[in-house]
Structure 1
Amino acid sequence: MIIVPERAIPDLLTRDASYRAVENVFAAMASGDAYNFPVIREAIGHEDALYGFKGGFDRVGGSLGLKAGGYWPHNLDKHGIINHQSTVFLFDPDTGMVRAMVGGNYSTALRTAAASSVSINHLARKDARVMGMVGAGHQASFQLRAALEQRPFEKVIGWNYHPEMLSNLEEVAAEAGLPFEAVDLDGLAEADVIITITSSFAPILLEHHVSPGTHIACMGTDTKGKQEASADLVARATLFTDEVAQSISIGECQHAIAAGLITEAGISQIGAVINGSHPGRRSADDITLFDGTGVGLQDLAVSAALVDLAVEKGVAIEVDL
């Protein structure tokens, strides 16, 4: 078995490798060559933690396995470590033997950012120039770096519940040589692309905050009850997601579905756009929305790429079970 420890991953995994892995697995999902297993997610009654498993099988990429982990909300305060903790286990699909154990924390951040950047590449207008961010926490920096590589943006604007955290976005914008402006929610109407990355349980982004032609990537809603965009805004948009079953149950579309404003048939897989079986954006005035719920196959695809990189660079740890 190969072990790729968490400490080695930042030097191995690039945004480009993450993007390619996620784009390929989304395409495989849409063509029926890859599927996710049902998600298990539980409040364990200890440390207010949520713990669970996401897994799947990709026949094209040959990835079989699961990610185990969750959210420990007191980690940072009590232990000085990040609140999200996870590990990925890969198995040989031909024999069932365990192939690898891979640290999942840094790779989860990159694979989540890769998903939104895939949606921007395939759905945002080619002339998009203003990048908008809702949320400025740890994951927001990963999201913004990946997004800025997808279009020749000229400006970044952002809003956060805690304005003092907007410096995180300003630093990333400065890295890219772009100006940054803190705005109120109405000011987001200037944005051509908006990423929402919060842990909100009430809508933040409303219909009048978004201009025609905007692409929205909602990346924070991955649990029943969470919500970043109003149901009216979701209903107005042309909708795409990583996996429809998750979108309507734990993703951003759950609320519009419950309100009867949209149907499951109105939500398309982003992989269909990648494969060319869906046209994607139909006009410059379309509002497109990608509901990034986060699927196990993303983690498996990125982890498989990590194993290959670790072996190639001689940093993989091999053990006998």
Structure 2
Amino acid sequence: METSSNLSNAGCQVTVVPEEACQAVIGRKQAFEAVEAVFASMASGSARNFPVVREAIGHADALYGFKSGFDRAGMVLGVKSGGYWPGNTRKGLTNHQSTVVLFDPDTGRLSALVGGNYLTAVRTAAASAVSIAHLARKDARVLGMVGAGHQSTFQLRAALEQRNFDQVVGWNRDPENLARLAAVCEEQGIPFEAVSLPDLAARSDVIITITSAFEPLLMSEWVKPGTHIACMGTDTKGKQEVDPMLYARAEIFTDEVAQATSIGESQHAAATGILAPERIIAIGDVINGKHPGRRADQDITLFDGTGVGLQDLAVASMAVKLAGAEGLVERFVL
């Protein structure tokens, strides 16, 4: 026998957007627009991320967690659940695994389940691309890539669209993986060279770090004036990609200040007193015109891309709309 509660919740229609549909409708342009817009909403106060839960589960060396939030401007409410399984590559799977769950902001009812693996990669690349678009020197010509894992090719393709780069240099702990980056550069007609980390820093005008390191890879004294650095790999307490002393030389920007100092690259400089939290500027303030961003060509700018839940919700919501219009979704009644 149905209770009144069961009757009141009957007929909840849920849209399912599989990974293949996300790839079909969300490209770099769509992801860039969605992420730039949500960063602007965050800075204006109309969108808020909720506290992140991210923990080692004690099995398969995996990190697992939840990122959630609400964008009042876009009327998007939801959560991304997932994490990082380092052994997945050996199984023919992507190391990052996630699903985005969207809810109706007016009722709290489940509205959509969206594959999050591709969207995580494309939205992370979009965030660094947004930082390059707003903070890198206009005459930047050499792009440095630190890391050549699964997400690196997404980062590379998105970055190449932001400036007229004429060379890419790369480093990876396992040099054979640099073939991924070399293949993209060959496709784009841009020279690629594998180099040491000091050489990469000395030559690059823009550097993207996209690793799972727990120690500094990029040292402050290697980085030349005028460089823009997008730190995209650190999203958990303890992870680290750059020398904290670099924070004494650079102007610091991020997606979300509180998250940057707790689980982002900025956690280390903040903990040692090198970085005062008030020095960190939300990238949304630059997008909205409240902060000038780069002030001089000789400035070093650093973007701490911690990866906020609202990025995932923004691209997932767009995927629901676009895939639905193309008839690429499945629907069921819960």
Task: Give the TM-score band, short-chain normalised.
Answer: over 0.9
Amino acid at match of 1:238: E
Instruction: Tell me the equivalent position of 1:33.
Output: 46
Could you report, residue by residue, the CA deviation over 1:47-102 in whole angstroms, capped at 9, with x for unpaired residues? 2222111000001111100001112222232x321121100011111111111100
Secondary structure of 2:151's aligned partner: helix
Amino acid at match of 1:173: C
Secondary structure of 1:261's aligned partner: coil
The 5 Å alignment of 1:196-275 reads: 196-275=209-288
Amino acid at match of 1:187: D
Could you report, residue by residue, the CA deviation over 1:114-166 in whole angstroms, capped at 9, with x for unpaired residues? 00000000000011111111111111111000000001111101111111111
Larger Rg: 2
TM-score between the two structures when normalised by the length of structure 1 = 0.98
Tell whether the 8 Å contact from 2:94 to 2:150 is kept in structure 1 after alignment.
no
TM-score between the two structures when normalised by the length of structure 2 = 0.94
Which one of the candidate residues 75, 85, 89 is aligned to 1:72? Answer: 85
Percentage identity across aligned positions?
65
Aligned-residue offset at 1:196: 0.4
Secondary structure of 1:138's aligned partner: coil
Aligned-residue offset at 1:40: 0.9
Secondary structure of 1:297's aligned partner: helix
Q: Does 1:147 align with 2:152?
A: no
Aligned-partner Cα distance in 1 for 2:74–2:313: 9
Query: More displaced, 236-245 or 178-187?
Result: 178-187
Could you report, residue by residue, the CA deviation over 1:158-195 in whole angstroms, capped at 9, with x for unpaired residues? 11111111111111111211001111112121111000
Instruction: Tell me the equivalent position of 1:120.
Output: 132
Secondary structure of 1:276's aligned partner: coil
What stretches of structure 2 of length at least 5 have no aligned partner? 1-13
Aligned-partner Cα distance in 2 for 1:153–1:72: 33
What stretches of structure 1 of length at least 5 have no aligned partner? none
Aligned-partner Cα distance in 2 for 1:166–1:42: 30
Q: Does 1:93 align with 2:105?
A: yes
Cα-Cα RMSD: 0.9
Instruction: Tell me the equivalent position of 1:161.
Output: 173
Give the 4+ runs in structure 1 shifted more than 6 A: none
Q: Does 1:21 align with 2:61?
A: no
Query: More displaced, 174-183 or 142-151?
Result: 174-183
Aligned-partner Cα distance in 2 for 1:140–1:72: 17
